[in-house]
Amino acid sequence: QIEGWSPALAAELAEYARGFGVEAEELGQINDPRLWRILHRAHLGETLARRLAEADRRAARPAVRPAADPGRPGGGAPGLDDRMDTADWMRRRNAATLREHRRPRR
Angle formed by the axes of helices 33-60 and 7-18, nearest 10°:
80
In this prediction, residues 67-82 reach a mean pLDDT of: 61
pLDDT in the model for residue 65: 67
pLDDT in the model for residue 23: 93
First-residue to last-residue Cα distance in the chain: 76
pLDDT in the model for residue 97: 83
Q: Quickly count: other Cβ atoms within 10 Å of residue 17's Cβ.
A: 20
pTM, two decimals, is 0.53
Convert the pLDDT of each residue in 37-59 to its tens digit. 999 999 999 999 999 999 988 88
- Domain boundaries, given as residue ranges, for the chain: 7-60, 68-106
